[in-house]
Chain A
Amino acid sequence: MAVIAAHGAQTHGAGHMSPAKRLQVNRVGLWLFFFSESIIFGLLFTSRFFLLGTHQEHVDQFLGLVITIVLLASSVTAYTAETAMEKGNRKLAAWSLFATILLGVVFAIGVGFEWSVAEFGIKTAVEGQDPHNVVWGTVFFSMTGLHAAHVVSGVLMLGLALMMLLRGHFSKDSHWGISSTIMYWHFVDVVWVFYYPALYLVAGGGTHTG
């Protein structure tokens, strides 16, 4: 009977879940989604080492460092947006979201620029490259491409969240739309924390090796 007393008044089910439980369920669902996504990223990450060991071609270290700093900085602004939202400071939240979007766009442009100046191709070897080992381009473009696609989708979602915030949606107590988007953004950042060393740093200094 104790069980009945404890739960008797509680309605059950997805249709009428309490907001607190809905939030908990959403949170776990989102974390499982990240878990699932990290396996996609992880398989490409593993493939890079399976195919090439630690071999890497020349990449622009300065550009890589700059876009990494930009992306990490965007996580700080995203964090600021969420804490501001929790304290009910809509103005700071909106500006921080805007800054996050801006930094995200800068990162995406940085990746695009890097693609345009890359000293390696996908299909054929360039000057000084071993023609039997041009798979680096495949690995580099597919890994940065998959990551950049996530950055772009994150920017779009942050844009929608900002738009809704400016239109008066969300409040101090109810802003799952913003929190979830920002969690996604942090996740995309964490992926880069693994991808950056795997693509830029493992061979040490980015000189021609192999």
Chain B
Amino acid sequence: MYAATTIGGGLGTGLLSFYLGLGVAALLRSLFGFDAWDRDFNASIGYIFGLIGWLMGVGMWGTWGREWFGAKIKDPHANSRKELGWQRYFMFNVDHKVIGVQYLVTFLVVFILAGAMAMVIRLELMDSGRDFVSNKTYNTVLGMHGIMMVAVAVAAVVGGLGNYAVPLMIGADDMAFPRMNALSYWLVPPVAVTLLLSPFLGGLETGWTAYPPLSVLTQSAQTFWNLAIITFGLSSILGGLNFVVTVMFMRAPGMTWGRLPMFVWSMFVTAWLALLYTQGFAVALIMVTLDRIAGMGFFDAARGGDPLLYQHVFWFYSHPAVYIMILPGFGIALEVIGHFSRKPLFAYRYAVGAFLGILGLSGVVWAHHMFTAGIPNYLHGPFLVATELISIPTGLIFLSALGTIWMGKLWLRTPMLFALAVIFNFACGGVTGIFLADVPTDIHLQDTYFVVAHFHYTIVGGEIFGLFAGIYYWFPKITGRMYNEKLAKLHFWWMFIGFNVTFFIMHWPGIEGMNRRIADYPQSLETANLIVSLSAFMLGASFLVFIYNFVNSWVRGPAAEANPWGARTLEWQTSSPPPVENFLQPPVIAGHPYDYGVPGAAPHVTFYPPAVGSPAGGGGGGQ
């Protein structure tokens, strides 16, 4: 019932406010002498009203809004303390563990949907001339696949695993701003609904990048799409802000910056990126929206505007965004490799420096997406060099991973397999990236399937493999149950082979000049595309194994121990799943998280006073 009242209340007030907004917009328009109804304008105002109504209805009014008027609020922690079972996940709950699961499951669903769209794309491209879907539908499916996967890549690890693990790993009992954390999550459902409705509101024509002038001129669901993405950006910014403050101020006593686990470091840097750059996408889309609904001329060359402005502002976010996607993947890879190699993480300080170096460099490379767009020639050199400089910090992260594996006692459980795959796949993605950073080769490869293969190697091969490493790694902690190792390994090998065949072969039509985003191609490229399609179906099918294993293990898997991996970090020193307050006694940190097999190393964590009956209080000092 709790869940039903939350969701029902949110939907009710949201819809009422939406209609109110439509009316207010119509009223304003007629007051100022315009036609009362303009679909995009009225719906935009309605969307803003509806969004606020949804948030208030879903629980923000009772736990937050009343405060602004000096009224008493409900205790925002009340929901997390009640024994509600699964219903916790369907209500405004400020517990970071609940929000983490909400994010994770939501974005896994989005991932599966967007993956299904990729299957439609591959069906269409299986041979040249095939018309499995119309060109208009193809554009919509392509755009939806793109933006939904970008959303998954930005939010599944950060919002899901990050929310769940970071406060646990630094010894906090919650994020710094718990209510804002819940707000960040509850902004997501309206985004998802709006995105999923866009095929019925006119479809999408611009892909996920929404370049003008098409995005300004198109008669599609562009405005709705813009509003959804701006909302998602807001959620991302607030989430980033929350992580930054949490890592700065919520660390347990003794958790110095030099003792932070790698995953926390990666999330800290990622959070800064989200906080600093997400505005770019939002501002770019606000400009498109203003051009569309207010007749402004930012991108209208005939009136003195410039479509290139969009690309600058857009890539100002969207290049750093790839680091928002990949850095958490690296973080998980180093974390898992550290624990599963049973030896201290190699070059910890250099790896941290590498994360910070990527943070510094990420803001000065965006124009390498625009080499063929008509930017001045003198910009080519600096952006080429800056882009290739990024391989230095990335290389340090690789060296840290390889140095840890070197002479380690590798424990090849599923999380470790996925983490090793991150290193393998990203090496391929990194190498192909060099050809795209170099202006002469980029001019040939721009907008071909080579680019598609490259970024799938980095983002899927790097981050999504990292996401699955993290899911398997923290699955026992999150659910209190163990997954099925055999099925998990089957999933790994199936996905790894499917992925590598699909995207390795995809370079080939790319080099031959096959255009991305186009529903058809010359007949000579049929063989390559047939292979790619068939192995893409195989890749898609591998997730069925995952879904079965995930759901089945969560419902009836064997109970997991508190610390099945014998890991030293904090999240494993509490029960699985952890109690609401995370730690029954305040943890105190005295040692490095990765000092496996170091004689005389201090335990990473001790609890004060020593917990009675708490699991494995020593933190793995003797392992």
How does the 8 Å CB contact mask read for B302-319 relative to A, with 1 for contact and 0 for none? 111110010011001000
Stretch among A1-9, A63-71, A91-99 lining the B interface: A1-9
Chain A residues lying within 8 Å of B77, measured Cβ to Cβ, are 15
Q: Are B590 and A3 in contact (CB under 8 A)?
A: yes
> A25-B176, A35-B275, A44-B283 in contact; A163/B69 too (CB < 8 A)?
yes
Report A1-54 residues with CB < 8 Å from chain B CB: 3-4, 6-8, 10-16, 21, 24-25, 28-29, 32-33, 35-36, 39-40, 43-44, 47, 50-52
Q: What residue in chain A is nearest B283 (Cβ atoms)?
A: A43
A4 partner, pick from B176, B297, B313, B588, beta carbons under 8 A = B588
Q: Are A122 and B296 in contact (CB under 8 A)?
A: yes
> A21-B249, A122-B297, A138-B298 in contact; A13/B174 too (CB < 8 A)?
yes
Q: Are B70 and A163 in contact (CB under 8 A)?
A: yes
Chain A residues lying within 8 Å of B395, measured Cβ to Cβ, are none
Q: What residue in chain A is nearest B244 (Cβ atoms)?
A: A32
Q: Are A160 and B173 in contact (CB under 8 A)?
A: no
Q: Are B69 and A141 in contact (CB under 8 A)?
A: no
Chain A residues lying within 8 Å of B237, measured Cβ to Cβ, are 36
Chain B residues lying within 8 Å of A137, measured Cβ to Cβ, are 296-297
Q: Are A160 and B298 in contact (CB under 8 A)?
A: no
Contact-size category for A = 35 or more
Q: Are B173 and A15 in contact (CB under 8 A)?
A: yes
Question: Whole-angstrom distance between the alpha carbons of A3 and B591 in the complex?
Answer: 12
Q: Is B194 in contact with chain A by the CB < 8 A criterion?
A: no
How does the 8 Å CB contact mask read for B159-178 relative to A, with 1 for contact and 0 for none? 00000000000011111111
Q: Are B296 and A138 in contact (CB under 8 A)?
A: yes
Q: Are A167 and B171 in contact (CB under 8 A)?
A: no
Question: Whole-angstrom distance between the alpha carbons of A185 and B241 in the complex?
Answer: 20
Question: Whole-angstrom distance between the alpha carbons of A182 and B309 in the complex?
Answer: 34
Question: Whole-angstrom distance between the alpha carbons of A35 and B254 in the complex?
Answer: 29
Report A106-139 residues with CB < 8 Å from chain B CB: 122-123, 130-138
The listed residue with most A CB atoms (<10 A of its CB), out of B70, B242, B253, B588, is: B70
Q: What residue in chain A is nearest B251 (Cβ atoms)?
A: A12
Chain B residues lying within 8 Å of A190, measured Cβ to Cβ, are none
Q: Are B304 and A135 in contact (CB under 8 A)?
A: yes
Report B559-618 residues with CB < 8 Å from chain A CB: 581-582, 586, 588, 590, 606, 608
Question: Whole-angstrom distance between the alpha carbons of A28 and B241 in the complex?
Answer: 10
Q: Are A12 and B252 in contact (CB under 8 A)?
A: yes
Known A4-B608, A51-B309, A135-B300; further 8 A-B contacts with Cβ < 8 A: A6-B253, A28-B245, A29-B177, A43-B313, A135-B305, A137-B297, A160-B68, A160-B69
Pick the 7 closest A-B CB pairs, nearest first.
A13-B173, A7-B253, A135-B304, A133-B304, A14-B174, A138-B296, A164-B70
